[in-house]
Structure 1
C-alpha cells in the first residue's frame, strides 16, 4: 500500500512501515526505545514487531492492562513512573503497540513526559488503524466520561501492519468496522455501498487505506477541530454517552466503542431525517445495515434519561449547548446542530422498533 502523507507525519504500511521505522531509528539515535504494550499485544504482536527491527538499541518494554476501563490518569501515572525509573530522558522515544486505548494513552503520556518526547503509533486493531491513530488526538477518560483529558499532538509516524488484525476476535473487528462505515456515511456514498457488502476480515482489510485517506483528508483541512473536522464525530454524541453509561453501570454489559457508535449513527440518522431532511429510505438503509452487523441493544426508560445527562460532557459542546453532526444525505454532513429535546425519545423509540 502507498504511504499517506499527513500535515506533519506519514502513515506507512506493511514492509514500507518497517523500512521507515528502521531508517528513522538509525538516523535519530535515541537514548532508549520504550515500547508500550498491553497483555495481548505483548504476547501476540511484540515478537513479530521486534523481529523486524534492525540495529543494536536499548529497548525497555512497559505493559499496561487492556480495556477502556484502564484508559485513565492512574494508568498514565504508572507509565510516567516506569519511564522515570527506567531512565527515560528527552531523547527517548515511545512506540505505542496496541489498539485505540493504548495509542490514545501512549500518545498523551509521551506528549506530557518531560514536556514531550517523540512517539510512534503502531495500531493493532481495526479501530485504531482507521481512526484512533490518525489525526493527533491523544488522551484519557475522566471516570467514565470519554476523552475528557488530552492534547492534540502528532506522532513521528504511524505504522499500519494489517496482519496484526489476525489476532483479533470478530467482536473487536466489527467494532473497528463501525468507524469505516461512518467514513462512508460522512464522505462517500459509493464507499458506503461497497462497505455494506464487506463481511470477512479480508474484505475489510481491502478498505483500510480508503478509510485512512478519508479521515486524513478531513483532518488536513481542520487539524484542531474548529469546523469541518467535527463531521468525524457523526454518531459519537449519543454514541459516546451510551458507551460511557454502559461502562459505568454494573448491571449492563460493557459495549465496545464501535458497538455504541453504531447505535449512535442510527439515532443521529433519525434526527437527521427530522431536522436536515435525510430521506426516510436512506434512514431505513442506515438502520438495516447496522442492525445486520451489530446486535440490537435493549434500553430501559431510566437508561435513556441517564444517557441524555451524559451528553452534556461531549467535547463538541459550547456555551452550554449540545451540538450534533447530522446528515443531509450520505456524503453530505452538517455540524453544530441543536436538537429539540423531545426528539431524543422518538429517536430511541425508532431504534427499538
Structure 2
C-alpha cells in the first residue's frame, strides 16, 4: 500500500510503517521515546512493535486501563504525572499504541503536556485504523458525555499495521467495520456495495486503505470541522447519545462505539427518508445491512427520552440547535439539518420493527 501524505502528517502502511518510524526516530533524536499502552496492547502488541524498531533509544512504557470508562481527565492526570516523573521534556515523543480510546486520549495528553510534544499514532483496532487515529481529533469524555474536551492537533505520523487486528475478538472488529460502512454511505455508493460483501477479517483488511483515503480527503478540505468535515458524523448525533446513555446506565450493557453508531445510522437514515427524500429502497437497504451484522437493541420509552436529552451536548450543535448529518441518497450527505421533534419517536419505532 502506498503511504498517504498530507501537509501536516503521513499515514504509512505495513512494512513501510516501520521503515518510516525508524527513519523518523533516527532523524529526530528524541530525548525519550514514551509508548502509551493499555493492558491489552502491552501484552499482545508491544513485543512485536518493539521488535521492529532499529536503533538505540531511551524507551519508557506507560500503561493505562483500557475502555471508554477510563477516557477521562483522571487518567490524563496520571499520565501527565508519569511523564513528569520520568523526565519528559519538549524534545520527547509519545507513541500511542492502541485503539481509538487510547489514540484519542494519548494525542490529547501529548498535545497539552508542556504545551505540546510530538506524538505518533499506531492504531491496533479496526475502528482506530479507519477513523479515530486519522484526522487530528484528540480528546476525552466529560463524565459519560463523549469527546467534550479536546483539541484538533495532527500526529507526526500514523502507522497502520493490519496484523495487529489478529489480536481482536469479533465484536471489536464489527465495531470498527461500522465506521467503514459509514464511509460508503457518505461518499461512495460503489464502496458501500463492496463492503456489504465483506465477511471475513481479511476482506475488511483489504478495504482499510479506501476508508482512510475517504476520511483523509474530507479532513484535508476542512481540518477544523467548519463545514464539509461534519459529514463524517453521519449516525453520530443519535449514536453518541445512545453510547453515552448505555455507558452511564448501570442497568444497561455497555455498547461499543460502532454498535451505537450502527443504530444511529439506521435512525438517521429514517430521518433522511422523511426529510431529504432518501428512497424507501435505500432506507431498507441500510437497515437490513446493519441488522444483519449488529444485534438489535431494546429501547424502552424512558430510554428514548433520556437519549434525546443527551443530544443537546453534541459537538455539532450551534446556537442551541441540534444539527444532523442526513443522506439525500447513498453517497450524497447534507449537514446542519434540523429535525422536527416528532420524528425522533417515529425513527425509534422504525428501528424496533
By the TM > 0.5 criterion, same fold? yes
Match of 2:270 in 1: 270
Say which SS state the counterpart of residue 42 (structure 2) adopts: helix
Equivalent residue for 2:212? 212
**Where does residue 196 of structure 1 map in the other structure?**
196
Gaps of 5+ in 2: none
Quote how far apart the aligned CAs of 1:5 are.
Answer: 1.3
- Measured against aligned partners, the alpha-carbon deviations of 1:155-177 in whole angstroms (never above 9, x if no partner) come to 00000000000000000000000
TM-score for both structures, normalised by structure 2: 1.00
| Aligned pairs (5 A) from 1:53-202 | 53-202=53-202
State how far apart, in whole Å, the 2-side matches of 1:94 and 1:247 are: 28
2:345 maps to which residue? 345
Counterpart secondary structure, 1:95: strand
Secondary structure of the 1:225 match is: coil
- Residue 7 of structure 1 deviates from its aligned partner by 3.1
Counterparts of 1:324-343 in structure 2 under 5 Å?
324-343=324-343
Runs of 4+ in 1 over 6 A off after TM superposition: none
Q: 2: CA distance between counterparts of 1:2 and 1:69?
A: 36
RMSD of aligned C-alpha atoms? 0.3
Distance 1:281 1:196 in 2: 15
Unaligned runs of 5+ in 1: none
Deviations 1:329-352 (A, max 9, x none): 001000000000000000000000
How far 1:6 moved relative to its partner? 2.4
Q: TM-score, normalised by structure 1?
A: 1.00
Structure-2 residue corresponding to 1:48 = 48
Shift of 1:39: 0.1
Distance, in Å, in 1 between the alignment partners of 2:148 and 2:116 is 20
The alignment partner of 1:293 has SS state of coil
The superposition leaves residues 78-134 of structure 1 with CA deviations (integer Å, 9 ceiling, x where unpaired) of: 000000000000000000000000000000000000000000000000000000011
Give CA deviations for 1:266-290 in whole Å, capped at 9, x if unaligned. Answer: 0000000000000011000000000
